[in-house]
């Protein structure tokens, strides 16, 4: 069964606009962590943001924020004020508490920022 779902294969956003990338996850482990990564065409995986399952507040890192809705098992990434350099693949991922360092990735969303 797919543990991480990203339903938007590709998205376009106008420069300086905000964009939301969707992610839903499935786990029965009460302790887990959720990650978002950016992968430009160079192939480098860049960590963006982390949300723990017990965190009460939504995580924020600069222009990135994570809209965590635990009951809905949703962890959407919000990028504010999009920049041309934000064009890349974005991956949602999860680490279950019982899995040590193993992280499960979603299929990714390709984001293109239009000038």
Partner 1 sequence: KAGVTQTPRYLIKTRGQQVTLSCSPISGHRSVSWYQQTPGQGLQFLFEYFSETQRNKGNFPGRFSGRQFSNSRSEMNVSTLELGDSALYLCAIRTVGAGGRETQYFGPGTRLLVL
Under the binding rule (CB under 8 A), the answer on residue 90 touching partner 1 is no
Query: Minimum distance between the CB of residue 35 and partner 1, rounded to whole angstroms?
Result: 6
Stretch that binds partner 1, among 9-17, 20-28, 75-83, 101-109 (CB under 8 A): 101-109
Applying CB under 8 A, the site for partner 1 has a residue count of 23
Stretch that binds partner 1, among 11-19, 21-29, 65-73, 102-110 (CB under 8 A): 102-110
77, β-bridge pairs = 21, 66
Query: Minimum distance between the CB of residue 67 and partner 1, rounded to whole angstroms?
Result: 18
């Amino acid at each position: 069964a797919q543990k991480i779902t990203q339903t938007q294969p590709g998205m376009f956003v106008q420069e300086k606009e905000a964009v939301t990338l969707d992610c839903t996850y499935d786990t029965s482990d009460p302790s887990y962590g959720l990650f978002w990564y950016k992968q430009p065409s160079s192939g480098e995986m860049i960590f963006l943001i982390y949300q723990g399952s017990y965190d009460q507040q939504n995580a924020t890192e600069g222009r990135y924020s994570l809209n965590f809705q635990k009951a809905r098992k949703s962890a959407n990434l919000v990028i504010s004020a999009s920049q041309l350099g934000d064009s890349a693949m974005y991956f949602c991922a999860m680490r279950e508490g019982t899995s040590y360092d193993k992280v499960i990735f979603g299929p990714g969303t390709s984001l293109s920022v239009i000038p």
